Amino acid sequence: MQDSLPKVGFISLGCPKALVDSERILTQLRAEGYEVVPSYQDANLVVVNTCGFIDDAVAESLDTIGEALAENGKVIVTGCLGAKGDIVKQTHPNVLAVTGPHATEEVMQAIHTHLPKPHDPFTDLVPSGGVKLTPRHYAYLKISEGCNHHCRFCIIPDLRGGLVSRPVGEVMTEAENLVQVGVKELLVVSQDTSAYGVDVKYKPDFWKGRPLNTRMLDLATALGDLGAWVRLHYVYPYPHVDDVIPLMAAGKILPYLDIPLQHASPSILKSMKRPANTENTLKRIAQWRSICPDITLRSTFIVGFPGETEDDFEQLLDFLDDAQLDRVGCFAYSPVDGATANALPNQIDEDVKQQRLEIFMQKQATISASKLQQRVGQSLQVMVDGISEDGHALARSKAEAPEVDGWVIIKNQPQLVSGEFASVKIMDADEHDLWAELV
């Protein structure tokens, strides 16, 4: 019986938003009775979910498609690269079909055409939380697609279109299913989480008879009642974000905000077409900390954007000093095919960009190290993600998001189980990680 099932190979590239698309397609495949197999040789066809954000990602996606064609021969392409003109078909004319991102139905149609589904769907094979690509104990919860902004360095609105918010009742049902199958941490993702519901004018909806508006505050409040850790990512610092901070202070959702600020100089932010104002951002951060003193703030920045003067860069460094963010990522600006920033005058020399990146990272490393040092001596609850090769447990507290932040490393505890909570005391800290002992 098993051998008669049609078999699909699946390769998932790209960001958490693409990962959620992959999970939806995999869930649908399992619902329809397809078997998902891990090798090219065993598969009747292969689906490649691509990334098209920066040039390296485009090259990786095209290489992966080429490898799948060479090894298997029957390939369907989906994801961001599929929305980027004809590049896939031009490079690999033999692919069976190409779709853009969040196109589960189109992908399934293409699969049905080239590999018909079994007569009886094996719906009982599907876990109610869907098929997850993340470890069992945490899951990304995508609340919307697309973005209404037009940041000059970004082509996501061209690739994914304008903001489309999922109905809040549907998001809550998915979140509840995930928690019921053992997910202990929900990571809310989108392109712009604070804009959730703007496109549908915060439309009222119901979840289990409870009225909810399609709005970040209503969603965060309802998620906070599920008993899982709830972490908000990609939150722009609009005034209404202040309303979710009391939920953090009350322990309903995690005291953690991922706010992609990108720069601090007003003229660069204007040139980037970013929806933010530095002075207000600093005031807002101070206000958040006064309501929820243990809030962890994470952000990302770009240095070397066209037109960035020494003075702009200094303003950015001053902002880091003032804001004292806990976790920071930084990139040297690199032109993305199709982005309007490419046409801006005063592009910055590569060596200047790299120099600024280094100075920025050094400054932030000092800030991060001192912030982590302040946590030495704290007793914390952590969630174990796995065990390192040398037998240390790799865990995270409320202050660390998976994949982007550092670890709480519990020394010599290989018996700890992934997905379980542990109580620890922080004994030491470096620039990225904390070292802990069980208590």
Cβ–Cβ < 8 Å for 168, 211: no
User: What gap in Å lies between CA 53 and CA 159, rounded to an integer?
Assistant: 9
Could you say whether residue 244 binds ligand SF4 (CB under 6 A)? no
Site string for ligand SF4, 191-220 (x = CB under 6 A): xx----------------------------
Measured CA distances, 177 to 131, 165, 184 (Å): 12, 19, 11
Could you say whether residue 151 binds ligand SF4 (CB under 6 A)? yes
Please name the residue that has the structure tokens 């709480």: 408
Q: Which two tokens stand for residue 146?
A: 């697309």
- Cβ-in-10-Å burial (0-12, 13-18, 19+) of 400 comes to buried
**Which of 156, 188, 382, 408: binder of ligand SF4 (CB under 6 A)?**
156
Task: Choose between 239 and 377: whose C-beta lies nearer to ligand SF4.
Answer: 239
Ramachandran category for residue 20: left, alpha or beta (phi over 0 → left; psi -120 to 50 → alpha): alpha
**Which of 25, 46, 87, 147: binder of ligand SF4 (CB under 6 A)?**
147
Q: Shortest Cβ distance from residue 246 to ligand SF4 (Å)? A: 26
Buried b vs exposed e over 355-394: b needs ≥16 C-beta within 10 Å?
A: ebbeebbebbeebbeebbeebeeeebebbbbebeeeebbb
Q: Shortest Cβ distance from residue 147 to ligand SF4 (Å)? A: 3
User: What gap in Å lies between CA 388 and CA 395, rounded to an integer?
Assistant: 10
Segment 47-106, which members bind ligand SF4 (CB under 6 A)? none
- By rule CB under 6 A, what count of residues binds ligand SF4? 9
Q: Shortest Cβ distance from residue 299 to ligand SF4 (Å)? A: 13
Measured CA distances, 375 to 124, 253, 351, 429 (Å): 47, 21, 36, 8
From 67-75, 146-154, 320-328, 331-339, span contacting ligand SF4 (CB under 6 A): 146-154
CA angle 239, 301, 265 (to 5 degrees): 70
From 103-111, 142-150, 333-341, 394-402, span contacting ligand SF4 (CB under 6 A): 142-150
Task: Choose between 259 and 436: whose C-beta lies nearer to ligand SF4.
Answer: 259
CA Rg value for the chain: 23
Task: Choose between 276 and 409: whose C-beta lies nearer to ligand SF4.
Answer: 276
Helix axis angle for 216-223 and 168-180, nearest 10°, is 20
Give the three-state DSSP class for 158.
Answer: helix
Q: Shortest Cβ distance from residue 333 to ligand SF4 (Å)? A: 13
Segment 371-390, which members bind ligand SF4 (CB under 6 A)? none
Task: Choose between 157 and 329: whose C-beta lies nearer to ligand SF4.
Answer: 157
**Which of 25, 62, 154, 253: binder of ligand SF4 (CB under 6 A)?**
154
Of 137, 201, 146, the closest CA to residue 168 belongs to: 201
Q: Shortest Cβ distance from residue 340 to ligand SF4 (Å)? A: 11
Could you say whether residue 335 binds ligand SF4 (CB under 6 A)? no
CA pseudo-torsion sign 117, 121, 122, 124: positive
Q: Shortest Cβ distance from residue 156 to ligand SF4 (Å)? A: 4
From 49-57, 109-117, 150-158, 430-438, span contacting ligand SF4 (CB under 6 A): 150-158
Could you say whether residue 157 binds ligand SF4 (CB under 6 A)? yes
Task: Choose between 166 and 392: whose C-beta lies nearer to ligand SF4.
Answer: 166
Ramachandran category for residue 304: left, alpha or beta (phi over 0 → left; psi -120 to 50 → alpha): left
Task: Choose between 156 and 247: whose C-beta lies nearer to ligand SF4.
Answer: 156
Could you say whether residue 149 binds ligand SF4 (CB under 6 A)? yes
User: What gap in Å lies between CA 275 and CA 279, rounded to an integer?
Assistant: 13
Measured CA distances, 294 to 279, 364, 404 (Å): 22, 19, 19
Please name the residue that has the structure tokens 């007569």: 119
Q: Shortest Cβ distance from residue 358 to ligand SF4 (Å)? A: 24
From 21-29, 144-152, 317-325, 342-350, span contacting ligand SF4 (CB under 6 A): 144-152
Q: Shortest Cβ distance from residue 310 to ligand SF4 (Å)? A: 25
Q: Which two tokens stand for residue 211?
A: 């009225």
Q: Shortest Cβ distance from residue 1 to ligand SF4 (Å)? A: 45
From 40-48, 151-159, 211-219, 363-371, span contacting ligand SF4 (CB under 6 A): 151-159
Q: Shortest Cβ distance from residue 261 to ligand SF4 (Å)? A: 11
Segment 19-38, which members bind ligand SF4 (CB under 6 A)? none
Q: Shortest Cβ distance from residue 186 to ligand SF4 (Å)? A: 21
Measured CA distances, 276 to 108, 196, 270, 366 (Å): 40, 17, 9, 26
User: What gap in Å lies between CA 437 and CA 428, rounded to an integer?
Assistant: 10
Q: Shortest Cβ distance from residue 81 to ligand SF4 (Å)? A: 17
Binding footprint of ligand SF4 on the chain (CB under 6 A): 147, 149-151, 154, 156-157, 191-192
